[in-house]
Chain A
């Protein structure tokens, strides 16, 4: 999977104190992609939902999205924005 674009989230209020970005992928998120994110942090995967939701959390960043969509959101604590580069590299290798 490859990230094809990234933009700052318009919903700043929703991720209070964090900088949030929406990433567009070149394909749809599937179960394997979600489970592949586990090395990045604690994974919450609500696979009983009509469209399963996932969230990966570490101390300074968080990813979340919906299985079947071609985009996900990443939020990073203001002082650790550089961590997103490593996250982007990880996602691009999945």
Chain B
């Protein structure tokens, strides 16, 4: 089996992650500041926030809060900011941005305005300028497209947000752990991440960072293990991690981040870029195959393609059933970018590698793609 669906969730995980999760479940639970049973033990949550802060360029790492993933993080941040006016989003955004903005009751006083992207998913200065409105309050940007792998110029975009007084909300779900991220350098007001993609943790983990001085009204309230007698919060007293935390998940996430730190983010990015170059160059040599980007323009570990004459879901079905290759077909939960790509009907076939992908797997995929394309011309169609 060849797994090229790492943009959905990474597989395999480092052995350290599996071991860390198992150990966490096996050991006596450390239940958030209740009963003193933790004395002398490491605080895994703090340690994980510190490690994430180092990896994602967040000096105020205590302002990282854990959630079940990027979707919960985006709902929490977008609703919690109590915005009124236009929220600028890019055409590359995921439904975890679009759907809260269009459906959450708490966002009824906002209007979503879409910044168009190029066919490869690039957000240009011109597009930003043309999308600016007087009532714009925030800008949400996907660092790396989960469809084309286009990596945005975050310095340029954050500078635009700063110059126009917009809150800058960066979604690094697809880039955290495989591309350099620097929230402080970008001046991010909020940063959204998920744990189960390139951070190599397990599903059900993720979080958000909110810069010091910026408060959210929480989406969820409940027990936090601190000052239980207080029932009503005053302004700036909010807590963002109510309920028992997903400690096995956070422990696994810490192990994933430690693995990335040990290998080095640059080494991971370079290996994935090399595999992607192999893919782009090999696929470009197959006549008729439709690619959406190049190794030069799209530098994330994910790409899109189509086999003309086959729907993406049929192509994915063949790749799995005949070749044992797992890819993803469709719109990839990012419907708007497909309008720019010309694939709004049925989407694309998405290929996404990880640090654990190999040259042999890439070659096997290239052979399969060539064989499928060659078989399309004489197809019996009645």
Contacts and interface: CB of A to CB of B under 8 A. Distances in A.
Given A13-B330, A16-B330, A46 B321 contact: no
Interface string B40-61: 0000000000000000000000
Interface in A1-49: 13-16, 38, 42-49
A63 B45 CA distance: 49
Contact of B322 (A47, A64, A66): A66
Nearest to A48: B375
Q: How large is the interface on B (under 10, 10 to 19, 20 to 34, 35 or more residues)?
A: 20 to 34
A15 B347 CA distance: 11
Nearest to A14: B313
Given A38-B382, A42-B381, A51 B330 contact: no
A50 interface: yes
B266 interface: no
B371 A50 contact: yes
Nearest to B8: A13
Nearest to A67: B322
Nearest to B318: A53
A73 interface: yes
Nearest to A38: B382
Contacts of B314: 53, 55, 64
B380 A44 contact: yes
Interface residues of A, number: 22
Contacts of B316: 14
A21 B224 CA distance: 44
B329 interface: yes
Nearest to B347: A16
A69 interface: yes
A51 B331 CA distance: 27
Contact of B381 (A13, A43, A49): A43
Contacts, number: 62
B322 A51 contact: yes
B321 A51 contact: yes
Contacts of A65: 321
B23 interface: no
B380 A49 contact: no
A44 B313 CA distance: 14
Nearest to B377: A48
A53 B328 CA distance: 18
Contact of A44 (B322, B333, B374, B381): B381
Contact of B374 (A13, A48, A55): A48
A14 B329 contact: yes
Contacts of B321: 51, 53, 65-66, 69
Contacts of A51: 321-322
Given A43-B380, A48-B374, A48-B378, A15 B313 contact: yes
Nearest to B382: A43
Contacts of B375: 46-49
A49 B374 CA distance: 8
A50 B322 contact: yes
Interface in B321-345: 321-323, 328-331, 333
Nearest to A43: B382
B379 interface: yes
Nearest to B378: A48
B317 A47 contact: no
B315 to A, nearest CB: 9
B376 A46 contact: yes
Nearest to B372: A49
B229 to A, nearest CB: 46
B379 to A, nearest CB: 5
A21 B63 CA distance: 45
B90 to A, nearest CB: 22
A89 B282 CA distance: 45
Given A49-B372, A50-B322, A44 B331 contact: no
14 contacts: A14-B317, A14-B330, A15-B313, A42-B382, A45-B379, A45-B380, A46-B375, A46-B380, A49-B371, A49-B372, A50-B323, A53-B318, A69-B321, A73-B317
When A and B form their complex, which 3 residue pairs have the shortest distance between CB atoms, in order from nearest?
A48-B375, A51-B322, A45-B380
Interface of B: 313-314, 316-318, 321-323, 328-331, 333, 346, 371-372, 374-376, 378-382
